[in-house]
């Protein structure tokens, strides 16, 4: 590598970057011209797959292949990446009947993939190739040939895979997106493969996972009890509220810290019965509601607690905004 370097101004760096991006945009535009019935056939084969989509590719194609396999796996299409070099030394056992092989080689002449093809054919595994055109060894052997078109690399030497890898990634994303539509894949399905992240918490966590139940001695008070008694009930319950019930233990109202501040500001007597100061018909939700939806209800109504009431109008549980925020629900 030469030790000489060219000093570029900031403006020249910016111009170079824009030129590179525009070159890759042109490659994507060229890719759209390659999307035809072959793409639809590839989708059909993957949808019919009883096993996994095994993605393989060498070098930069392999790095893109890993991303494509990960996107498939997280959007309802079981998939994994198989390194073609390691496959030739035992890892090809990962590939079994019922799988589909998606092989990536821009030139279509990868020696590492070429060694695998006799076994792929012997196992009668459908082979989908991705290459720049149909002329290489790989597309000639494939059952379905997906092409990128001859695009110029963004690399000024037209050598380093840049535009071609961008187009390959976009083609993989296009396959995954088409399959999402075909499978009627939902946000809940997506969350099942992302339980550890914020998105998983957002979509999977239900009110019943966080709510306070009867086993925790929920704060309850009779509607004829004095306001003074409500102070002790609220303090002991530590939920910032107390639920008001009738003679049959049915919920008739709620009284919160905010309500307490308002009545004290008005100088209301502490012997006033709760049915005169409570908020009637309190908002309640289902315990199966998403926790994120419960937070939205609280935000929209300017409240910090929600009740979960059973079919007989009796209190089943309480959930607070603190519970939701503490669990990372947004």
| Cα angle value 285/286/290 (rounded, 5°) | 95
Task: Give the alpha-carbon dihedral of 80, 82, 83, 84, to 10 degrees.
Answer: -150
Burial 10-43 (b: 16+ CB within 10 A, else e): eeeeeeeeeebeebbebbbebbeebeeebbeebb
Residues in binding site for Zn(2+)? 83
How far is Cα 219 from Cα 99, in angstroms, rounded to an integer?
57
Contacts 24+ apart (CB under 8 A), 189-192: 189/76, 190/74, 190/75, 190/76
How far is Cα 176 from Cα 79, in angstroms, rounded to an integer?
11
Residue 67 CB partners (closer than 8 Å, separation 6+): 169, 172
Residues in binding site? 83
Written as one string, the DSSP assignment of 300-321 is HHT-SEEEEE-TTSBEEEEEEH
How far is Cα 321 from Cα 324, in angstroms, rounded to an integer?
5
Q: Could you give the C-alpha distances from 242 to 213, 231, 306, 307, in angstroms and in order?
A: 14, 9, 11, 10
The bridge status of strand 212-213 relative to strand 315-320 is antiparallel
- Assess contact for 154 and 162: CB atoms under 8 A: yes
């Amino acid at each position: 590598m030469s030790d000489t370097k060219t000093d570029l101004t900031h403006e020249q760096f910016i111009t170079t970057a824009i030129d590179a991006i525009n070159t890759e945009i042109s490659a994507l535009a060229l890719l759209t011209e390659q999307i035809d019935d072959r793409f639809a056939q590839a989708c059909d084969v993957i949808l019919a797959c009883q096993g996994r989509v095994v993605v393989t590719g060498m070098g930069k194609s392999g790095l893109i292949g890993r991303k494509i396999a990960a996107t498939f796996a997280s959007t309802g299409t079981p998939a994994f990446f198989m390194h073609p070099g390691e496959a030739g030394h035992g890892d090809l056992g990962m590939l079994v009947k019922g799988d589909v092989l998606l092989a990536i080689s821009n030139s279509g002449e990868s020696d590492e993939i070429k060694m695998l093809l006799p076994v792929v054919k012997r196992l009668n595994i459908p082979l989908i190739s991705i290459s720049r055109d149909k002329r290489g060894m790989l597309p000639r052997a494939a059952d379905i040939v997906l092409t990128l078109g001859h695009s110029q690399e963004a690399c000024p030497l037209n050598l380093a895979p840049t535009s071609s890898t961008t187009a390959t990634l976009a083609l993989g994303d296009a396959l995954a997106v088409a399959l999402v539509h075909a499978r009627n894949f939902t946000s809940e399905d997506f969350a099942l493969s992302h339980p550890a992240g914020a998105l998983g918490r957002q979509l999977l966590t239900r009110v019943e996972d966080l709510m306070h139940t009867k086993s925790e001695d929920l704060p309850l008070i009779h509607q004829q009890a004095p306001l003074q008694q409500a102070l002790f009930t609220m303090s002991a319950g530590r939920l910032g509220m107390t639920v008001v019930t009738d003679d049959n233990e049915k919920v008739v109202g709620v009284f919160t810290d905010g309500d307490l501040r308002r009545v004290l500001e008005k100088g209301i007597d502490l012997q006033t019965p709760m049915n005169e100061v409570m908020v009637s018909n309190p908002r309640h939700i289902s315990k199966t509601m998403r926790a994120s939806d419960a937070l939205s209800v609280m935000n929209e109504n300017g409240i910090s607690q929600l009740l979960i009431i059973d079919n007989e109008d009796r209190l089943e549980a309480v959930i607070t905004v603190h519970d939701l925020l503490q669990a990372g629900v947004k």
